[in-house]
Structure 1
Amino acid sequence: MKLPNADPLTTTDAVADNNAWPLTIATYNIHGAVGTDGHFAPQRIVEVVKEVGADIVALQEVPLGGGGFPDVLQMLQDATGFEAVEGPTFKVGERIFGNAVLSRYPILAKRSLDLSVGKHEPRGALDADVSCHGHPLRVVATHLGLRPAERRWQIQRLLQTFDTDQMPVILLGDINEWFVWGRPLRWLVSHFESVPAPKTFPSRWPLFALDRIWIRPRHRLVHVDVHATPLARVASDHLPLIAHING
């Protein structure tokens, strides 16, 4: 079930802090379903996502079909029974790649935000409203650029876009920030507060915390960990990052 663009929820859908419910969120850069062994093997990605068992999964570098090539998001949707929305960002020949969100819960609306800078590789964010146990949750899934100047502009644009207390907000994805004290991370910490940042890249021997999950309000975040099974270490060059939340 891929959804059309829709309008955001209204402020009447605010969540009460005293009505908590557990939720597991994950972000996973699947590297086009090409593993560390160089093989295109989308079924391995399907199995890793099933291993993770999250309620909502943000995905980056997702093959979305085109040119007769497999639509890996559709494979994941078929395997999990989850709802899915996509945010295409670039093409290689006829093949389409982009961001995606899988959700066990209904996706009420989605918006795509173009974060491309100049002639650099196109980037974007997928902004989805999810109804979790009847409560609205805003999930912003993104994959930022490789250059510091790109990321600075992209983070400023993102923060301006969802600087709202309308509903709980989760920002997650491949932030591509290699510099621990870089301005983009400082801005994000200022907005969301500090969160654990375990290393997820490269998957064989993780050295960098490129994948991140933030939530506002911060007190809803319970725990963050990395899914580092043998299959996950070969299925992609990133490991899935998982956050446990009291919604």
Structure 2
Amino acid sequence: MRLKVASYNIRKAIGTDRRRNPERILQVLREIDADVVALQEADRRFGQRAAVLTPHLLEEHSDWRSVGLGMRATSMGWHGNALLVRKTATILDCQQLHLPALEPRGAVSVDVAVGGEAVRVIGMHLDLSGLWRRRQAAAILQHAAHRAPGPATVMMGDLNEWSRASGCLSDFARDFHFAETGPSFHARRPIARLDRIMVSRALRVTACGVHQSPAARVASDHLPIWAEIVAA
């Protein structure tokens, strides 16, 4: 198995210049060229919660398609979490995960075959509160354990965890390895590792990083992170 994954909080496509520009997000994703992408804040917050990256944009201007996770007709994700996979990939299964929270939070999961090899990818955007982050991490880990044995697993997203090794990070570290991608927030001057990629022990990270192109520094307040993964 050789797989490139990426995680990106796109902030509803509102850049550091305060302009909403979905095409700019797609430009950044094309630069990274990952096989599977976890997006956070992929839907607008109010009204119909419409997707920022519309099906037309994805179809005409990208190599990806959205995993069918939206609960509303015009939404792309579940509580803003969305997953993109290459159009050539085969989606085997997908689920929404309900997470404990004071405000609506969720995670999303897809089993996908890329190049004939199956992998499970879980995308998430955790709470601002450390207490609720740990409860949400426990729910995600319980989901992953309940579905095991299964495909090797990648978990990624905006964990909102400012500490280096405590809190929910210590919970995830019991069963998953972290890719050492580096600081991704704030895009103009990244100092915090809020965005994380984690892999199960059946996988190994061979390369990883933070994508810091000129377009990425403007497209959102987070920089995207990426990792290249092989079977351990």
Do they superpose with TM above 0.5?
A: yes
Query: Does the 8 Å contact 2:79/2:105 carry over to 1?
Result: no
**Which residue type is aligned with residue 79 of structure 1?**
H
Does residue 117 (structure 1) correspond to residue 117 (structure 2)? The answer is: no
1:213 & 1:73 partners in 2: Cα distance?
A: 26
Query: Does the 8 Å contact 2:79/2:106 carry over to 1?
Result: no
Match 1:231 to one of 215, 224, 232: 215
So what's the TM-score if we normalise by structure 2? 0.87
Shift of 1:72: 1.2
Give the direction of change, closer, same or farther, for the CA distance of 1:68–1:107 in structure 2 (3 Å limit): closer
SS of residue in 1 equivalent to 2:163:
coil
**Which residue type is aligned with residue 53 of structure 2?**
V
Match 1:126 to one of 87, 99, 108: 108
Choose 67-76 or 45-54, whichever is displaced more. 67-76
Choose 136-145 or 183-192, whichever is displaced more. 183-192
Match 1:72 to one of 31, 39, 53: 53
2:67 & 2:150 partners in 1: Cα distance?
A: 22
Shift of 1:45: 0.5
**Which residue type is aligned with residue 153 of structure 1?**
R
Query: Does the 8 Å contact 1:50/1:80 carry over to 2?
Result: yes
Structure 2 unaligned runs (5+)? 73-77
Shift of 1:178: 0.9
Instruction: List per-residue Cα deviations over 1:206-242 (Å, max 9, x = no partner).
Output: 0000110011126521121110001100000001100
Rg (Cα) greater in structure: 1
SS of residue in 1 equivalent to 2:173:
helix
Structure 1 unaligned runs (5+)? 1-20, 91-95
Shift of 1:183: 2.4
Instruction: List per-residue Cα deviations over 1:52-96 (Å, max 9, x = no partner).
Output: 111111101002696596641522344223231154589xxxxx9
Query: What's the counterpart of residue 192 of structure 1?
Result: 176
Query: What's the counterpart of residue 229 of structure 2?
Result: 245
Give the direction of change, closer, same or farther, for the CA distance of 1:238–1:101 in structure 2 (3 Å limit): same
**Which residue type is aligned with residue 60 of structure 1?**
Q
1:194 & 1:41 partners in 2: Cα distance?
A: 31
1:68 & 1:212 partners in 2: Cα distance?
A: 25
1:165 & 1:129 partners in 2: Cα distance?
A: 13
Query: What's the counterpart of residue 12 of structure 2?
Result: 32
Match 1:147 to one of 129, 143, 165: 129
Superposed, which structure 2 residues align to 1:41-56 within 5 Å? 41-56=21-36
Query: Does the 8 Å contact 1:64/1:97 carry over to 2?
Result: no
**Which residue type is aligned with residue 21 of structure 2?**
A
Query: What's the counterpart of residue 162 of structure 1?
Result: 144
1:218 & 1:180 partners in 2: Cα distance?
A: 24
1:129 & 1:231 partners in 2: Cα distance?
A: 30
1:206 & 1:167 partners in 2: Cα distance?
A: 33
2:50 & 2:140 partners in 1: Cα distance?
A: 31
